[in-house]
Amino acid sequence: MTINMINRRKRVLDHLNEIGCNKGVVFQPENIFYLTGFWGEGVVVIDNDKTILFSPQLEYNRAKNESKYCEIVRTERGDKLIDAVKKELDARKFCSDCREYQIVDKIRKELVYQENMILDENQFLKARMIKDDEEIKLISHSAKIIDKLFQFCTHEIKIGVTERKLQAKLIFETFENNATTTSYNMTINPFIIAGGPNGSFPHANISDREFQTGDFIVVDLTLRYNGYIADATRTFGLGKIEKKQERIYNIVKESQKKGLEAVKIGTEIGNIDKSCREFISDSGYGKYFIHSTGHGIGIEVHEPPWIRKENKELLKKNMTITIEPGIYIESKFGIRIEDSILVREGKKITNFNSFTKDLLVL
């Protein structure tokens, strides 16, 4: 068994032990992937002695090929799968990430002590916040592909090109680089490509609007390589950009720099948001910064830790996060600059993204 897989399972079990549980019952595909290397339908039962992956027939052969160092039990789908899982439960407390009421109800009804089932997905997310060297390598590779796509944009963003056309080309280039598109579950499109007034929507939908001279074009790219995600944004200018636009761009750029400088192991995560937000507010645009400063990245686009001002959690080594301040002027334009970064010892970071943040006017 690889040391990384050992440590991931141990990290999860350590968090479960803190809430009095000796076993985990895992339903969410992201957590199953984290613990086994298999992404698909199934349930994992994990304790200090063993890891069992219960797989329905249609996924069984793929589960055998992709999972690492766990016992695989073939079952039928539905109730029979849950029945097989229940046989592994005993009188001890266990924690589950299950989100489906019917499944929770079915399991609880047959427990001797119903309070032995603790529903707390957060314990699994806590474990995933700290990345191992394999995870870091994959996130870094994803970010390097994004940098290539930003460079691609410098040749493809032109007057008359539509948001949809650019998106299509970027999707093709993503797959050409052996990655796949992915997105935050609150957005319907895999990438955010937003020109001119559409850029004032932080989560703009793709449209058939053509790019025009004077546009700011927000390009927010999120992609997955071998299971792991990077997320970065650049804002490009097109044609003739007004001095006021350039000044606001530089405010966002400097704000993002302040956020990067605030990253330090042991500091409150909310301080990153405060550093970005205070600079934008002091520059007169506080009311136009309408979202939090960032989020964790890894197996999911948005996962803990959350980079928002009220977060009192402390930064820890090997957290991977985004820093992405923005200013959005309704009906006119938006500007966002975002990097994916790794928190390192002391006040050091590794910025996974190297594409320039200087204003490029194409």
Nearest CA to 293 out of 274, 281, 307, 310 is that of: 307
| The predicted structure's pLDDT at residue 112 | 54
Half-sphere exposure of 74 (CA within 13 A, CB side): 7
**Cis bond upstream, residue 325 (ω within 30):** no
Mean pLDDT value of segment 8-28: 97
| DSSP label at residue 2 | -
Tell me the sheet residues that pair with 197: none
Q: 300 near 30, Cβ under 8 Å?
A: yes
Q: Are strands 228-237 and 216-225 parallel, antiparallel or unpaired?
A: antiparallel
In CATH, 130-351 is 3.90.230.10: yes
Nearest CA to 248 out of 327, 154, 146, 330 is that of: 327
Q: 309 near 270, Cβ under 8 Å?
A: yes
Q: Give me the residue spans of the domains in the chain.
A: 3-128, 130-351
- Report the alpha-carbon angle 296-170-354, nearest 5: 50
pLDDT digits (tens, 9 = 90+) for 177-192: 999 999 888 888 889 9
Other residues' Cβ atoms within 10 Å of the Cβ of residue 272: 29
Q: Token pair for residue 101?
A: 């009421």
Residue 102 main-chain phi, psi, to 5 deg: -60, -40
In whole numbers, what is the pLDDT of the chain averaged over residues? 95
| The predicted structure's pLDDT at residue 362 | 98
| The predicted structure's pLDDT at residue 236 | 99
| The predicted structure's pLDDT at residue 78 | 86
State how far the alpha carbon of 36 is from the alpha carbons of 32, 54, 214, in Å: 6, 11, 50
pTM equals 0.95
* 261, pLDDT greater than 60: yes
Mean pLDDT value of segment 195-214: 98
| The predicted structure's pLDDT at residue 186 | 82
Mean pLDDT value of segment 30-39: 98
CATH of range 3-128; options 1.10.760.10, 3.40.50.300, 3.20.20.80, 3.40.350.10:
3.40.350.10
User: Using CA atoms, how far apart are residues 167 and 173, in angstroms rounded to an integer?
Assistant: 10
| The predicted structure's pLDDT at residue 187 | 84
Q: Token pair for residue 146?
A: 């994004």
pLDDT digits (tens, 9 = 90+) for 208-253: 999 999 999 999 999 999 999 999 999 999 999 999 999 999 999 9
pLDDT band for position 105 (cuts 50, 70, 90): confident
| The predicted structure's pLDDT at residue 24 | 97
Q: Token pair for residue 58?
A: 């249609």
Instruction: Considering only residues 347 and 269, tell me which one the structure prediction assigns the higher pLDDT.
Output: 269
Q: 104 near 98, Cβ under 8 Å?
A: yes
Burial (0-12, 13-18, 19+ Cβ within 10 Å), 34 = buried
Torsion sign across C-alpha atoms 308, 140, 152, 169:
negative
Instruction: Considering only residues 213 and 80, tell me which one the structure prediction assigns the higher pLDDT.
Output: 213
pLDDT digits (tens, 9 = 90+) for 283-326: 999 999 999 999 999 999 999 999 999 999 999 999 999 999 99
pLDDT digits (tens, 9 = 90+) for 161-173: 999 999 999 999 9
| The predicted structure's pLDDT at residue 344 | 95
| The predicted structure's pLDDT at residue 113 | 66
